[in-house]
Structure 1
Amino acid sequence: MFSLLIKKFRDSHNLSQEDLAQILISFNGRDSIDVTTISRWERGINTPSVANQLYTLRKLSIDFTLSSIASNYPPHRLINLLKPRFSRFSALSDKPYRKLAPSFTYTESDDLENFLMDDDLVKFSETMFAIEGETEDFWHSLPKTTFDHVRVFRFFKGSNLVAHLAYVVMNTIDIITLLEKLYKTEFSSDFAPEVDGKTLICFSGYASDLAIYMFFTKVVVRQLADNHRIDWLIGHSFINEDWQIHKKLGAKLIYQGDNLEEGGVKVGKQRVRFVVFNSSVPTLLASPLGVLCEQDLDKKYCKIIELSQD
């Protein structure tokens, strides 16, 4: 598939193999790509890693489907990483009512200001984890920034808020400036060489149920896959399992909160209040998140999730 896409792109743009090699060198600054490399790709003799295939296809704006780019990381392994996250007891976790196979509704909007001022969300967040200090500053600095795209989801079991997701897309250079101002740390190297591109920030999210987690994971992955301008994903976590999952999927820690005696997020041998991390979008899409679907879940985790008609 990769070999055919590269050959078709080169022919349709009337490029020589040398021309294509120079274009790719201009993207990543590496001179390891030459005519021989392109030739071996097109003949299927050599194939880059899945992440590098995705990087190349996205940089050349070549249309592709994630299902056509095989992942080397079986989906069931990711499911096994995710399940412990939802085996813990918490006030609104799925463990107490899993046998009831509940259904959920959700609302979708682009109203970020009202989301941040939502009393139900504040109470919910106080129940699930403490929002305070630097991370609260991060939340409230975002509405003052210009976004390309905003999406806010609220999930309900009956009338009770049980999960939420909010993400925005913005210029990578702007998020670097925001992070550096907030955390007094140099961040440019964490986003090289894509500092001129776009970043999707999952700045607020909590799933009380594995099916909901999978639902909004697919929403985010679809946004990343469909928009070739997005180079990075930024997220932050208060929960250790969430960070361990993202770390296994290639995420890099870019900031951590204050130390804690217990709980929080484990980083090495210490625990901290929260972590902020980023992932290269090609690396993330090359993970099982790109091809994972609800059918990969056990039946006991499959729930009905429908858009609210209110």
Structure 2
Amino acid sequence: MKNKLKTEKSNMTSITEFVLLGFSDIPNSQWILFGIFLVIYLTILMCNSIIIMITRIDPVLQTPMYFFLNNFSFLEICYVTVTIPRMLMDLLTQKGNISLVACAAQMCFVLMFGGSECLLLTAMAYDRYVAICNPLHYPLVMNYKVCVQLAIASWVSGVPVVIGQTCQIFSLPFCGSNRINHFFCDLPPILKLACGNTFLNEIAVYLVAVVFIMVPFLLIIVSYGKIIANILKISSASGRAKAFSTCSSHLIVVVLFYGTATITYLQPKPNQSEGTGKVISLFYTVFIPTLNPIIYTLRNKDIMMALRKLVSKLLQ
């Protein structure tokens, strides 16, 4: 009996690294996937960098709306850089070994930037609400100081919570398999590998998800409810179309991001298969960040005009 307990104890403390399986279930497609994800990553970097540049240099885009878009684009670059380069390296080397410390750091930054994105999207919704529902006081309410404060709050509010949750999860004992059927250290698959009772940890995950996903989402829904009600009161069709066009891009991004994040972090643990979780994670960590700059540029006349001016200057 004593020997058995000693063996179990040694197994619980013997894991010093995890193995990210990634896309090892389709071994013949590793190089194709490497090429696809490399192109996607470079596209995200290039498109968001262009948005950051034009929102800084074009005088027409020096408004709160584009100040937040600037922050959002930079956040997207940070967000994808936490996961995609590591995934590319694993595809290139055909190895997914990652130390516990590196895994904890990756998970911490993914959750941190994901939480910041939720809060920043809420700040952007508030900006649109003030612009459409209270246009006369918009310059006063959304002055530069308020915009900076909202941006800083979005970036740092979740940091202590995420660090605390990461430390709590990685202080759990891990025994048995160290193989993670995922392409990065996400919260649900890591919790599945933990030994013992993880009920309190799961409750903590749900509470944090409610605070950083559901509460901001409800605030955005309330904001857009009031925005739509005000837009419908506009008498001219052109006025309504212009008001809708300033909000539609943001609303599309909100639905895409919150939809996939809700399924991942608020779905009961037994109901989410590893394969499904991996596919959903691909959407909110890779594909949606690829679509976001396209959505914001193609559906925004001011940005398209600024891009044309920039291109014409470069060609002169």
TM-score, normalised to structure 1's length? 0.27
Greater fraction of residues in helix: 2
Which structure carries more strand by proportion? 1
Normalised to the residue count of structure 2, the TM-score between the two structures is 0.26
Larger Rg: 2
